Structure 1
Amino acid sequence: MSKIKSKKEEAPLAGKPVAGLDATEAAAELARLAAEIAHHDSLYYQKDAPEVSDAAYDALRKRNEAIEARFPDLVRADSPSLKVGAAPVEAFGKVVHRVPMLSLGNVFDEEGVRDFLDRIRRFLGLDQDAELAFTAEPKIDGLSITLRYEGGRLVQAATRGDGYEGENVTANVRTIADIPHEIAAKDFPDPFEVRGEIYMSRSAFQKLNDAQAARGDRLFANPRNAAAGSLRQLDPTITASRPLAFFAYGWGEAPAPPADTQWGAYRAMKKWGFPLNPLAERTTSVEDMLKTYRDIESDRASLDYDIDGIVYKLDRLDLQERLGFVSRSPRFAIAHKFPAEQATTVLNDIEIQVGRTGALTPVAKLEPVTVGGVVVQNATLHNEDYIAGIGATARACARAAISASATRSSCSGPATSSRKCSTWVLDKRPKESKRFKFPTHCPSCGSLAVREVDEKTGKRDVVCRCTGGLICPAQRVERLKHFVSRNAFDIEGLGEKRIQELYDDNIIKSPPDIFTLEEKDKEKDPDEQLAKREGWGALSAQKLFAAIQARRAVKLDRFIYALGIRHVGEITGRLLARRYGTAETFVKAMRAAADDRSGEAFAELDNIEGIGPAVAVAIADFFAEPHNVTVVDELLKKVKPQELEAVDHASPVSGKTVVFTGTLERMTRSEAKARAERLGAKVAGSVSKNTDYVVAGPGAGSKLKNAKDLGVNVLTEDEWLALIE
């Protein structure tokens, strides 16, 4: 019978006083303590299953600190004294949001707010004078976060990411004092996801930058950048040292809403211990909403945190449910942004960039200027029609204090309109300035650059495009950059700089090459392998290979978006993934659509709700190119796109194709479509043999006749509601 070892036998130095340890024993004991504390941190922070008492855990840490104090030269790189909690697995790791964290639509004036209310009334079929209550609260300029509680305990925290998948920052979030680790209230739902904004106050930001300057470290551009950088530290100790704060603004997964109204839910969350913005109000008219906006805007400068607008949310949660979402935004909420901040600078030069679709985009090189705390030195001009001469003065602005693009030291809005990011101040243009001449040939490959003509309207496209297609190096490398980008395959360690480097050296020329990179690297002479390249190393090469391996399985919508098809963005990718289900079905249907533009496959593609003729033609054109088909076929030998989860697995119409026709009496057409899509149905605009249900109201015409001719199941509105309920 084997002997069970005691703790003392496993760690013979555990009971020896620190003062009695020699250097060799101290090194061994520090190694043991680092491993044991890391084990307990993992159990506590990542698995929520501690196996020792807090006192026993504290004793381990105190012993580690005492040994390090006596032998400072022996402090380990993985020392527990350098960490708080456990570092996230594989950097941060990914968290799939159970309820998507979508973004808000924006309005910039009172007319936009009134239009927002009118859209809600039209969607719900309400009279224009019907009273609607809204909550109005400051839009914090911070980092969105979701906090998951199970059994009342905080078990996971994740960033927004792309809205569907975020970063696991649980260990870091546990260091933020505003966020409760445990909720004792008996009425606290289980599970419950609280959503809110992590931010840094202006006063704390100033102190942090003062400390950074004193140490000679890099200064942060603004509080939001400081908050985001602090939260995304691999070492939670750094996050713990940064003064981060939190405001709750909503919830994700929950067994039931916290109340019947948004305002009631806020009161419930406040009672449970979550901080809410004290300036939030409940309003009952558009005049009240605008007054709240003006009042908070006038006090904006005196606040100790940055805000960039006011968020309005429809108060009744049952109406929110009926409204649902459109694309990436809720129909029941909107952000009313504050006016832009402006500064004046000089245009030094204009460079032409060639995008992945061949678009030639002029980029203004500006004299660096600080706008809203951000240095702006580039401005995308978008087209040649509104370009001023070199030496002209540009008025740059960062909408809503700091635009998303401005935080990357560039301003992406066109320099052509006062409502966008830059405008020209022509009266300050020097006499010697020259008007910029747009190139007639691609600067990358020399192919002719043309502005296409719309066959229907006869109008020239505002965008000038390279006709070189896949022979154009700029387009090929830009497509590669798009392929590995955050919302596509999201391959960590393979950013724009790496892609350019590997492309220039003929290592990666097309997407399939990415997935044979490790295999081909092993076949090379050791001195020519990635690990030996300048700026690389064995660890960085291994991490890249691991990241590529991890992305051999991605969701189908990401796969479709990554292909870089013109007009196909993230939302269109999801529409296509929902409709066709699998990569094989999608590719087969698209090849058929490309082969016969008058055939059934193309008609079905064009018939998808949300995909118009221009998008359908662009997709067919893509799959009509043999090189593109070859790339897709090669990719599918190396990656396995995953089907999207149905919106509602229990729904009897999940995966079914539905057409609405005639007048609906119990809901508006828009509401009927939105509700069907939330239940996993595919809403089409015309009837075909692939249609599963036609919901016909009074006044139904040719669609009803087509349904009967094809033998499609026809339902009345009442029958449809009975089916889905």
Structure 2
Amino acid sequence: MEIKKQIETLRAELRQYNYEYYVQDNASVSDFEFDKKLEQLKALEASHPEFADLSSPSLRVGGEITKNFKTVKHINRMYSLDNSYDENDLKDWETRNRKIVDGDIQYVCELKYDGASISLHYEQGKFVQAVTRGDGSQGDDVTANVRTIKSVPLQLQGDNIPEKFEIRGEIVLPWDGFHKMNEEREEQGLELYRNPRNTASGSLKLQDSSVVASRPLECLLYQLVGDNLPFETQYAGLEAARSWGFKVPQESELVSGVDGVLDYVQKWDERRKDLPYETDGVVIKINSLRQQEELGFTAKAPRWAMAYKFSAEQVSTILEEITYQVGRTGAITPVANLQPVEISGTTVKRASLHNADQIERLDIRVNDTVHVEKGGEIIPKIVAVDLLQRPDYSEPTTYATHCPECNTALERKAGEAQHFCPNDIGCPPQIKGRIQHFISRKAMDIDGIGSETVDQLVEAGMINNYADLYDLTADDILPLERMAQKSAENLVQGVEASKQVEFERVLFALGIRYVGETVAKKLAHHYNSMDKLMAMPASDDSESDDLFSSVDDGSAFAKAEKIQELIAIPEIGERIAESVVDFITDEKHREIIGRLKHHGLNMKLSEKQLEGQTDILASKSIVVSGVFEMSRTDLKKLIEKNGGKVSSSISSKTDYLIRGEKMGPSKLEKAEKLGVEMISEAEFLELIAN
């Protein structure tokens, strides 16, 4: 037992030295002393493998090889943030918040570090997993690489540590480390890294963790996620995380009101160039976790947080040519091809011109000197034209009239900003784009096939739409360039496995214009099956294959009735309804859907998904306010599962207010004034049970 105690003592000392040096920036021992103790620990562990521990400081040197990074579904979704660029955005946001939550609102301001988003998982105080953000729903397991980052604690210290939780943050590369890496590459005659963010992000996907260990990466943490967290505010959570050993930036501040937020923004907009890390803005979060829970989330972002972006860097260059890109839905995007120019550490050659109206509004012409900036320092855009530099021979831009890919005449519907190519089954970029969308992670998530393979298959004439994927065999695919037997088999197996994907994702995968993940889920749970969604008012409403064969799409009455039927679904507007009806009445699309059904894809909700689903609360608008026995999230799921709509604010259209403990007085007053029926959690559960 003496050896075990010696190993544990060395581990504890080395963890403390790591914490002091990499988190507190205050080393208490020399590098020589640290390395000597580390070598002593490694020798003892090598001779006594029975005392192995994944949280040992000796594992930070890396050495594990990862050829394929496993895809992991996030336990709690990693949302993106809504962006704000001026004071009015923040004031509007605060006004919306005050309509929903009661009491004073405090904000935590944090610097928005530009790195690679990460979610760290801890159990019993030990680091167990690191997952990249990915698409927000699932990401890549990069545990072996993140374990080598010295500022990530492998064993937590202190009290009140939850048994299991996640903590979110950014993997960043400090400027000093970035410049040092580039100096070394320059000496070796290698191409220099463009910016710290991309270098940090790329590091996480390196196959050899020992290479990651050699890079001066750091992990800055900003958000704890889990059940029964031992604090009530965001700021208290940051302090707790810091006490447990996480590197939480000291620049965070607790402020009151928009004025306090703007003071913070102004201060750091001036000081950010002195920071050791790359940063592009400020993240503002409502401090109270109870208020955060009450505000909840939209389909893409939390309502209780906002990213305020610093003013973007702006440069001038020459617009050499305007070309046009075709998206998967046929949307045409004009693109400015620029004389290369550097902005915020990256070389920019192209910028989006958005649409014909934008070109006309700015009077953008070829050979103009234009002012370019990165919107939110990410997407390049033209913000102005230097008319004084315009050549005498300049001519106004004439917008394209025909598709640059298939020469079909472009269309532009009334009220829409973009032109569209209507040739959705014959235009190559649309064909490829629809298939690429179909196989994507959020849709069918088909392994073994990427965009390059899709391009090859389409160009070889082997597939022309996503239903064709299910006819492919390994022998069909083998003749493709760089396609081996194993790769061909993996592709076919991935396509076969996609038949297990649930109906709501199949519906999203079809690529109906304006039907994103949220709308697809809403339609799937409203109709329960593709047959019912596709049934026109004049058609037989039974579930039969006949629904896939033909429809009288010339019947204006049937279409109008179906549009109204869709609009009656909460949050389905006229534009979405019209797009859905256009899609389901198109014979070509009906034929493709029929083929997908024949191949065995899920065209209805599973029995498990339908379990407990009712229409008891159909067309009912319900507000949830206060603290309850069950989690607010579970309560909202029950409302939706029984056909109701969860609303964030009380109005004359509210049918029920589910009233919990600590409900704010203003909500109560408004509900009483409008005569809204108030029920308790127990009464709500009794209502849906009966």
Q: Which residue of 2 aligns with 1:431?
A: 392
Residue 196 of structure 2 is aligned with which of 205, 216, 223? Answer: 223
Give the percent of matched residue pairs that are identical in Structure 1 and Structure 2: 32
1:271-321 CA-partner distances (Å, limit 9, x unpaired): 111110110011123222211111111110000101111111111111111
Residue 426 of structure 2 is aligned with which of 468, 471, 486? Answer: 471
Q: Which residue of 1 aligns with 2:288?
A: 316
Q: Which residue of 2 aligns with 1:195?
A: 168
Q: 1:288 to 1:385 in 2, by over 3 A?
A: closer
- Confirm or deny: 8 A CA contact 1:565 1:618 kept in the other structure: yes
Q: Which residue of 1 aligns with 2:375?
A: 399
- Confirm or deny: 8 A CA contact 1:655 1:681 kept in the other structure: no
Instruction: Normalising by structure 2, report the TM-score.
Output: 0.77
Q: Secondary structure at the match of 2:679?
A: helix
Residue 681 of structure 1 is aligned with which of 640, 664, 667? Answer: 640
Q: Which residue of 2 aligns with 1:710?
A: none
- Structure 1: runs of 5 or more not aligned: 1-51, 61-79, 406-410, 416-421, 455-460, 668-672, 687-692, 698-713
The structural deviation recorded for 1:213 is: 2.8
Q: Secondary structure at the match of 2:341?
A: strand
Residue 270 of structure 1 is aligned with which of 236, 239, 242? Answer: 242
Q: Which residue of 1 aligns with 2:325?
A: 353
Q: Which residue of 2 aligns with 1:120?
A: 97
Q: Secondary structure at the match of 1:659?
A: coil
Q: 1:654 to 1:430 in 2, by over 3 A?
A: farther
Q: Measure the CA separation in 1 of the matches of 2:172 and 2:98.
A: 34
- Does 2:330 match 1:371? no
Q: Secondary structure at the match of 2:134?
A: coil
- Confirm or deny: 8 A CA contact 2:280 2:310 kept in the other structure: yes
Matches within 5 A, 1:204-603: 204-252=177-225, 254-387=226-359, 388-400=364-376, 402-403=377-378, 405=379, 411=380, 413=381, 415=382, 422-453=383-414, 461-491=416-446, 494-517=449-472, 519=473, 521-522=474-475, 530=478, 532-538=479-485, 540-581=487-528, 596-597=558-559, 599=561, 603=564
- Confirm or deny: 8 A CA contact 1:648 1:679 kept in the other structure: no
The structural deviation recorded for 1:81 is: 14
Q: Measure the CA separation in 2 of the matches of 1:646 and 1:184.
A: 46
Q: Measure the CA separation in 2 of the matches of 1:580 and 1:151.
A: 44
The structural deviation recorded for 1:337 is: 1.0
Q: Measure the CA separation in 2 of the matches of 1:327 and 1:645.
A: 23
Q: Measure the CA separation in 2 of the matches of 1:346 and 1:657.
A: 59
Q: 1:556 to 1:186 in 2, by over 3 A?
A: farther
Q: Which residue of 2 aligns with 1:137?
A: 110
The structural deviation recorded for 1:619 is: 0.8
Q: Measure the CA separation in 1 of the matches of 2:279 and 2:677.
A: 49
The structural deviation recorded for 1:533 is: 3.8
The structural deviation recorded for 1:573 is: 2.6
Q: Measure the CA separation in 1 of the matches of 2:606 and 2:46.
A: 41
Letter in 2 for 1:464: H
1:546-572 CA-partner distances (Å, limit 9, x unpaired): 544554433444322221111112332
Q: Measure the CA separation in 1 of the matches of 2:394 and 2:301.
A: 44
Q: Secondary structure at the match of 1:344?
A: strand
Q: Which residue of 1 aligns with 2:81?
A: 104
Q: Measure the CA separation in 1 of the matches of 2:50 and 2:644.
A: 62
- Does 2:159 match 1:159? no
Residue 580 of structure 2 is aligned with which of 619, 624, 630? Answer: 619
- Confirm or deny: 8 A CA contact 2:369 2:385 kept in the other structure: yes
The structural deviation recorded for 1:544 is: 3.9
Q: Measure the CA separation in 2 of the matches of 1:81 and 1:538.
A: 38
Q: Secondary structure at the match of 2:111?
A: strand
- Confirm or deny: 8 A CA contact 1:477 1:499 kept in the other structure: yes
Calculate the aligned-residue CA RMSD, in Å: 3.8
Letter in 1 for 2:577: A
The structural deviation recorded for 1:218 is: 3.4
Q: Which residue of 1 aligns with 2:151?
A: 178
1:220-268 CA-partner distances (Å, limit 9, x unpaired): 221110010001123222222222111111122x231230111111111
1:164-210 CA-partner distances (Å, limit 9, x unpaired): 11111111111111111122545211111111111111111111222
Q: Measure the CA separation in 2 of the matches of 1:479 and 1:577.
A: 20
1:36-90 CA-partner distances (Å, limit 9, x unpaired): xxxxxxxxxxxxxxxx965355999xxxxxxxxxxxxxxxxxxx999623527xx
Q: Which residue of 2 aligns with 1:55?
A: 47
- Does 2:589 match 1:628? yes
1:4-42 CA-partner distances (Å, limit 9, x unpaired): xxxxxxxxxxxxxxxxxxxxxxxxxxxxxxxxxxxxxxx
The alignment of Structure 1 onto Structure 2 pairs a total of residues equal to 590
Q: Which residue of 1 aligns with 2:655?
A: 695
Q: Which residue of 2 aligns with 1:707?
A: none
The structural deviation recorded for 1:347 is: 0.9
The structural deviation recorded for 1:603 is: 4.5
- Does 2:66 match 1:87? yes
Letter in 2 for 1:695: D
Q: Measure the CA separation in 2 of the matches of 1:270 and 1:648.
A: 41
Q: Measure the CA separation in 2 of the matches of 1:178 and 1:84.
A: 18
The structural deviation recorded for 1:646 is: 13
The structural deviation recorded for 1:635 is: 2.4
1:570-591 CA-partner distances (Å, limit 9, x unpaired): 3323333444456666566899
Q: Measure the CA separation in 1 of the matches of 2:609 and 2:224.
A: 19
Q: Secondary structure at the match of 2:186?
A: helix
Deviates more, 1:443-452 or 1:481-490: 481-490
- Confirm or deny: 8 A CA contact 2:322 2:366 kept in the other structure: yes
- Confirm or deny: 8 A CA contact 1:647 1:678 kept in the other structure: no
- Confirm or deny: 8 A CA contact 2:340 2:348 kept in the other structure: yes
Q: Secondary structure at the match of 1:717?
A: strand
- Confirm or deny: 8 A CA contact 2:45 2:51 kept in the other structure: no
1:108-161 CA-partner distances (Å, limit 9, x unpaired): 11221122111100122x4xxx53211111011111111111222222111111
Q: 1:301 to 1:696 in 2, by over 3 A?
A: closer
Q: 1:579 to 1:103 in 2, by over 3 A?
A: farther
Q: 1:228 to 1:188 in 2, by over 3 A?
A: same
- Does 2:554 match 1:607? no
Instruction: Normalising by structure 1, report the TM-score.
Output: 0.73
Q: Measure the CA separation in 2 of the matches of 1:236 and 1:267.
A: 31
Q: Measure the CA separation in 2 of the matches of 1:661 and 1:544.
A: 45
Q: Secondary structure at the match of 1:118?
A: helix
- Does 2:125 match 1:149? no
1:683-711 CA-partner distances (Å, limit 9, x unpaired): 6679xxxxxx99358xxxxxxxxxxxxxx
Q: 1:724 to 1:235 in 2, by over 3 A?
A: farther
Q: 1:355 to 1:190 in 2, by over 3 A?
A: same
- Structure 2: runs of 5 or more not aligned: 1-43, 53-58, 542-546, 553-557, 627-631, 647-652, 658-674
- Confirm or deny: 8 A CA contact 1:325 1:674 kept in the other structure: no
Letter in 2 for 1:194: I
- Confirm or deny: 8 A CA contact 1:659 1:694 kept in the other structure: no
